[in-house]
Amino acid sequence: MATAEVSNKKTLKVQRFKPSDNPSNTYLTDEKGVWAWMTTVDHKKIGIMYLVAVAIFFAVGGALALLLRTELMTPAKTFIEADTYNQLFTLHGAIMVFFVLVPSIPAALGNFIMPMQLGAKDVAFPKLNLASFYIYVAGAIFTFIALAQHGLDTGWTFYTPYSTESSSSVIWVTMGVFILGFSSILTGTNFITTIHKMRAPGITWGKLPLNVWALYATSIIQVLATPVLAITVLLLTMERWLGFGIFDPALGGDPVLFQHFFWFYSHPAVYIMIVPGFGIISEVISTFSKKTVFGYWAIALSSLAIAFIGFLVWGHHMFTSGQSAVATTVFSFLTFLVGIPTGIKIFNWIATLYKGSIKMDTPMIYVFIFLFLFSIGGFTGIMLGALSVDIHLHDTYYVVAHFHYVMMGGTLIALLAGLHFWWPKMTGKLYNEKLAKIASVFIFVGFNVTFLPQFVMGAQGMPRRYYNYVDQFTAFHQTSTIGSYLLGVGFLIILYYLMHSLFKGAKSPANPWGSRGLEWQATSPPDFHNFDHTPVVIHGPYDYHQPMEEFQLGLAVDTNGHDSETAKEVVDKEREQWKNYSLG
């Protein structure tokens, strides 16, 4: 009986595949030309296209921010009119949230890296992946049509009844956001399927890189929350266009209902923006301290906990809105609960450093900046969750500062960490480390000079979205504006050395950081199919105590690599063999 069972199974051999430092074929040399790029279903090229699109939107959103800050140099008019100012802050917010932060990490870096971390050739639905990108572009076109018409002056939150009555092009933008949402939902669906079905032999849930766990949690939120945003903007469009009375009290609606709808998406959306950043931090901190991540399951599961509890706290944006007292109390309580998993992550990351072998290269510098800035963002979030204090701080610059500390100090800094970490993998080039460090100083100093004064003036009473302000806040505003210029300089330096690296940079080896991550066992840049073999994984992604050779395994016989029974057998067998193997 037992022998019959064994004989039914195929025996497969595993061999070592050391990635070449000088690959002859890469995804960049295959399928060249504009048309090939535009019609590609390769997750790497799609990731790069997202990255370029996100970078362009970031440049636009950033330029708007600099204009805003320049206007705020003086308490009254500096150089633009109130209506223009209102349009600028609305567009800055809408572009940064919907076109930069939401797609930045999952759709750009995630698309490129996640299938490689799974040892897969591509995502589960490559054509759907390309469709997501074009849906994103379509959403962007709608938004640009709005700009060409009457712009948008409602704030990125579209609060009714102002957005019902505004004479700006609200419908174009809401339709743009509606379309954009599908891109987000499709990417989420694609990622969930990929993570479930496309893992290379040996990658159990316990060996999943934390970046993949983070993207998994994010995808769940994207799939569940984004439809509510679609409903919200559709209802708003119907109210504006057809006069349905849903939110406007003049038509028998309720404006507070709109806020419930809006934040039911938009609070989970901040986790769509930050959780993928957590994934990057875990990858980078482990690589640059050459050490296994402390509390793997604590970090992995806290992402899922955040994804779940994040759905239950939307009302904390509405403590002063006139929602019921019971709702306010419950939402405040739940808000503190969602803070805990985030705190757990921070502590685990710091513990990872303990007794590590820490190298302060640029990605690691950004991780340190992240840990500092995001902690401040977290603490001020606790401040805003406290009911009585929030009543005072709500809708002041304190909230603006808090939001930027978590979204820019968190997500965007994590994105910079990830971009510097994976840049050699994506482009096959190294960047100027010295310039990168100089830029990180500009970013860190500029960021704090911009946003720390905003906490103080906010607590002193400075309301947000103000074109004119009272004289007592002048010094804070001017400091903040100077900081924003420093930030601008920092980003220009980054743009310069990355472009320089792209065209004239030194060639990168396959694994410049000595990382144990599977994506680093491909060539830099990777092969068109990521790996020219089916990788086999026997160790966890952070097992720095295991020799590098054992991370470079692949099936010696050509199979699709996704036959789990055979794969498991192969892995078990291989593990037995390596147990007695010594490098001597």
Partner 1 sequence: MDRLFEFMLPEAKSPTADSTDALFHFINEVSLVLLIGITIALIYFAIKYRRRSEDDETPVITHNNTLEITWSVVPLLICFVIFGWGYTGWLNLKSVPDNAYEIQVNGFKWGWNVKYDNGAQTLNEIHVPEGRPVKIVLQSSDVLHSFFVPDYRVKHDVVPGRYTYVWFEAEEAGESIVFCTEYCGTGHSDMLAKVIVHTEEDFQTWLEKNGGGVSGTPVEQGEQLVQLQGCTTCHSDDGSRLIGPSFKGLWESEETLSDGSTVTVDENYLRESILNPGAKIVESYDNVMTPYEGRISDEEITNIIEYLKTLK
Residues 109-168 that bind partner 1 (CB under 8 A): 153-155, 159-162, 165-167
Q: Which residue has the tokens 């308490």?
A: 75
Instruction: List the x/- string, 275-304, binding to partner 1 by CB under 8 A.
Output: --------------xxxx-xxxxx------
Half-sphere exposure of 480 toward its Cβ, with a 13 Å CA cutoff? 27
Helices 255-289 & 296-309, crossing angle to 10 degrees? Answer: 170
**Cα–Cα distance for residue pair 384/399, rounded to 1 Å:** 8
Among positions 249-278, residues that touch partner 1 (CB under 8 A) are 249-250, 254-256
Among positions 541-570, residues that touch partner 1 (CB under 8 A) are 543-545
Which of 127/355 has CB closer to partner 1?
A: 355
**Cα–Cα distance for residue pair 412/286, rounded to 1 Å:** 20
Please name every residue paired with 553 in a beta bridge, in sequence order, or none if there are none: 16
Question: Exactly one of 52, 141, 340, 475 binds partner 1 (CB under 8 A); which one?
Answer: 340
Among positions 397-436, residues that touch partner 1 (CB under 8 A) are none
Question: Exactly one of 125, 244, 308, 336 binds partner 1 (CB under 8 A); which one?
Answer: 336
* CB neighbour list of residue 508: distance below 8 Å, 6 or more residues apart: 424, 425, 427, 428, 429, 430, 524
* Residue type at 517 in one-letter notation: G
333 interacts with partner 1 by CB under 8 A = yes
CB of 502: closest distance to partner 1 in angstroms?
27
Question: Exactly one of 1, 2, 242, 325 binds partner 1 (CB under 8 A); which one?
Answer: 325
* Residue type at 165 in one-letter notation: E
375 interacts with partner 1 by CB under 8 A = yes
Question: Exactly one of 332, 515, 523, 534 binds partner 1 (CB under 8 A); which one?
Answer: 332
Instruction: Tell me the residue length of the chain.
Output: 584
The closest of 321, 489, 470 to 397, measured between CA atoms, is 470
CB of 286: closest distance to partner 1 in angstroms?
10
* Residue type at 512 in one-letter notation: P
**Cα–Cα distance for residue pair 171/241, rounded to 1 Å:** 8
Instruction: List the x/- string, 81-110, binding to partner 1 by CB under 8 A.
Output: -xx--x------------------------
Which of 128/389 has CB closer to partner 1?
A: 389
CB of 340: closest distance to partner 1 in angstroms?
5
CB of 155: closest distance to partner 1 in angstroms?
5
CB of 148: closest distance to partner 1 in angstroms?
18
- Here the tokens at position 500 are 């320089």
Q: How many residues bind partner 1 (CB under 8 A)?
A: 92
Please name every residue paired with 554 in a beta bridge, in sequence order, or none if there are none: 15, 535
354 interacts with partner 1 by CB under 8 A = yes
Instruction: List the x/- string, 479-518, binding to partner 1 by CB under 8 A.
Output: -----------------------------------x----
Other C-beta atoms within 10 Å of 580: how many? 6
- Here the tokens at position 38 are 């535009």
Opening angle at CA 479, ends 477 and 484, nearest 5: 95
